[in-house]
A and B are shown apart, each in its own frame.
Chain A
Amino acid sequence: MPPIPGSGLAKGLAVTLRTMTKKTVTAQYPDTQPELPPRSRGVIGLFEENCTVCMLCARECPDWCIYIDSHKETVPPAAPGGRERSRNVLDRFAIDFSLCMYCGICIEVCPFDALFWSPEFEYAETDIHELTHERDKLREWMWTVPEPPALDPGAEEPKEIAAARKTADKLAAQQAQQSEEGGTP
């Protein structure tokens, strides 16, 4: 059956009228903050305690926007007669956000989970030099990092938890065996 002439026009009017009665999608940004999901690429936070100054992030950065200074300290031997160990101590960790292109490679390569994405994005400056943020600022941002989203149901277990559980299982098995051995005599 051919469409009634003008039905298309009426349909167009209906669409706009229906949209008018619906809730708008405009976010009133400065008045209400946007709800950004975890891992939104707002800014990079640094969890200093995890950093070993391995320099992987600085080397992988395509923009060379991460500056790291460190020195070595010798740590007295843990046991008497043992060897002295040397440890890297972080002196400076800065990211120049005027160069950063938010690719997230540094976060991906960090083997010790010291870098995180934070959804915080309001750090515009009037001078480009002020966009180089030092470790204290990066640490402040660390506290704005939200909890990662829950895993999908039926997803593979996270590696570290799997490893921890394996160890725990092994220990439990050992203990059980020991108590069995101790019980038989």
Chain B
Amino acid sequence: MNDVSDVALRLAIVFVVFLVAPLLVGQTEHKVMAHMQGRLGPMYAGGFHGWAQLVADGVKFAQKEDVVPAAADRRVFQLAPAVALLPYLLVLVAIPVGPGDGAVGQVIDAGIFFVLAVMGIGVLGSLMAGWASANKFSLLGGLRTAAQLLSYELPMLLAAASVAMAAGTVSLTGILDAFEWWWLPWQIAGALVFFVAGLAELQRPPFDMPVADSEIIFGAYTEYTGLRFALFLLAEYAGIVILCALTTVLFLGGWHGPFGADGLGWLWTLLKTALLAFVVIWLRVSYPRLREDQLQKLAWTTLVPLALAQIALTGIVKVAIN
């Protein structure tokens, strides 16, 4: 019985984090983006500096009519948001926050493969949404999403493989246990490739060609309204949380920190994740959108060679150490 309650508690915590963390990132994006553009951002909802803006948005979305276009493929159309969102919930279960087995939803032996595999499923949601909407813009958006995923999945996997080689394990907790501070400069190229490729998979600016509003309205999500639309948005922000947490765990040492008590490892993880989330927002504000061909070129001519070079470097250093 104790086991059951333990598992239930962990899942409940993961679920709460899954619901709260994206909102936090979203609110931070509201405020940070506003201040980077000389604005104030939301100021009214909730009273103090608009802290409840996203809650208000959620209420608004819940009130809206759920429209399914007449020509759409009903079931696929309605299923797509769930397919886009659920993978991130699953991934969150496997991310270790602190040292030991106590600070992770579920220890998974092949952690890297699990998170990357399940994250790859999320894109199916966009594809389904794009196709089932019976809208040319949606279809274009879905195709762009797929093209982007196909080209950026490879460098992301290669970069993750480099860390797995360095640690000699594919388990996320194992990688953190093996982490040393000098991995940071050693794996820096891999970290960059992983983060950039992850951004591209999430379709975050400057890689937001699939939802380029000036060309194809909102890509695959054009026809969505109300809660289903909100679920897609939630998936995007959950994706940011996951990507930042993963980069933290794989490349920045997770709960390792230069100082702090043993019990405060989780604080380091959260801090690094928050910092990376800030960088994600910062990049969005600073850079214009990449064109579709530039996107593909970046993936195939820069990121893939960089990731391969990183793997070669990892291999050489690893052999030299042994």
| Residues of the B chain whose Cβ atoms lie less than 8 Å from the Cβ of A19 | 35-38
Check A15–B286 contact: CB distance below 8 A.
yes
| Residues of the A chain whose Cβ atoms lie less than 8 Å from the Cβ of B43 | 28
Shortest B287–chain A CB gap in Å is 6
For B19-51 the 0/1 string (1 means CB < 8 A from A) is 000000000000010111111100100000000
Name, among B32, B35, B287, the residue most crowded by chain A CB atoms within 10 Å (CB to CB). B35
The answer for the CA separation of A181 and B43 in the assembled complex, in Å, is 79
| Residues of the A chain whose Cβ atoms lie less than 8 Å from the Cβ of B282 | 13, 16-17
Check B39–A26 contact: CB distance below 8 A.
yes
| Residues of the B chain whose Cβ atoms lie less than 8 Å from the Cβ of A25 | 38-39
Chain B residue nearest to A31 in the complex (CB): B43
Q: How large is the interface on B (under 10, 10 to 19, 20 to 34, 35 or more residues)?
A: 10 to 19
- With contacts A12-B286, A16-B282 taken as known, whether A24 is within 8 angstroms of B36 at the C-beta atoms is no
Chain B residue nearest to A27 in the complex (CB): B40
Main secondary structure of the interface of A (DSSP, over half): helix
Chain B residue nearest to A13 in the complex (CB): B286
How many CB-defined contacts (below 8 Å) exist between A and B?
Answer: 33
| Residues of the A chain whose Cβ atoms lie less than 8 Å from the Cβ of B233 | none
B271 beta carbon closer than 8 Å to chain A: no
| Residues of the B chain whose Cβ atoms lie less than 8 Å from the Cβ of A20 | 32, 35-36
A9 beta carbon closer than 8 Å to chain B: yes
Check B38–A9 contact: CB distance below 8 A.
no
A22 beta carbon closer than 8 Å to chain B: yes
Chain B residue nearest to A23 in the complex (CB): B38
The answer for the CA separation of A25 and B36 in the assembled complex, in Å, is 11
The answer for the CA separation of A72 and B40 in the assembled complex, in Å, is 58
Check B40–A12 contact: CB distance below 8 A.
no
- With contacts A9-B287, A28-B43 taken as known, whether A16 is within 8 angstroms of B38 at the C-beta atoms is no
Shortest B189–chain A CB gap in Å is 13
B285 beta carbon closer than 8 Å to chain A: yes
**Which residues from 267 to 298 on chain B have a C-beta closer than 8 Å to any C-beta of chain A?**
282-283, 285-287
| Residues of the A chain whose Cβ atoms lie less than 8 Å from the Cβ of B285 | 16
Check A24–B32 contact: CB distance below 8 A.
no
Check A16–B286 contact: CB distance below 8 A.
yes
Chain A residue nearest to B279 in the complex (CB): A13
Check A12–B39 contact: CB distance below 8 A.
no
**Which residues from 37 to 89 on chain B have a C-beta closer than 8 Å to any C-beta of chain A?**
37-40, 43
Check A24–B286 contact: CB distance below 8 A.
no
- With contacts A13-B282, A16-B282, A17-B282 taken as known, whether A24 is within 8 angstroms of B34 at the C-beta atoms is yes
**Which residues from 23 to 66 on chain A have a C-beta closer than 8 Å to any C-beta of chain B?**
24-26, 28
The answer for the CA separation of A53 and B283 in the assembled complex, in Å, is 64
The answer for the CA separation of A20 and B34 in the assembled complex, in Å, is 8
Shortest B185–chain A CB gap in Å is 18
| Residues of the B chain whose Cβ atoms lie less than 8 Å from the Cβ of A9 | 287
Chain A residue nearest to B37 in the complex (CB): A19
Check B287–A12 contact: CB distance below 8 A.
yes
- With contacts A16-B282, A17-B282 taken as known, whether A24 is within 8 angstroms of B287 at the C-beta atoms is no
Check A16–B40 contact: CB distance below 8 A.
no
The answer for the CA separation of A17 and B35 in the assembled complex, in Å, is 9
The answer for the CA separation of A19 and B282 in the assembled complex, in Å, is 12
The answer for the CA separation of A17 and B286 in the assembled complex, in Å, is 9
Shortest B114–chain A CB gap in Å is 33
Shortest A75–chain B CB gap in Å is 60
The answer for the CA separation of A30 and B214 in the assembled complex, in Å, is 32
Check A26–B36 contact: CB distance below 8 A.
no
The answer for the CA separation of A25 and B287 in the assembled complex, in Å, is 22
Chain B residue nearest to A25 in the complex (CB): B38
Check A17–B38 contact: CB distance below 8 A.
no
Name, among A16, A24, A26, the residue most crowded by chain B CB atoms within 10 Å (CB to CB). A16
Task: State the 9 A-B residue pairs at the shortest beta-carbon distance, nearest first.
Answer: A26-B40, A16-B36, A12-B286, A20-B35, A20-B36, A16-B286, A25-B38, A16-B285, A26-B39
Chain A positions within 8 Å of B, measured between CB atoms, are: 9, 12-13, 15-17, 19-20, 22, 24-26, 28
Beyond the given A12-B286, A20-B32, could you list 18 further A-B residue pairs with CB under 8 A, ordered by the A residue number? A12-B287, A13-B283, A13-B286, A15-B286, A16-B36, A16-B282, A16-B285, A17-B36, A17-B282, A19-B35, A19-B36, A19-B37, A20-B36, A22-B38, A24-B39, A24-B40, A26-B39, A28-B40
24 contacts between A and B (CB under 8 A): A9-B287, A12-B286, A12-B287, A13-B282, A15-B286, A16-B36, A16-B282, A16-B286, A17-B36, A17-B282, A19-B36, A19-B37, A19-B38, A20-B32, A22-B38, A24-B34, A24-B39, A24-B40, A25-B38, A25-B39, A26-B38, A26-B39, A26-B40, A28-B43
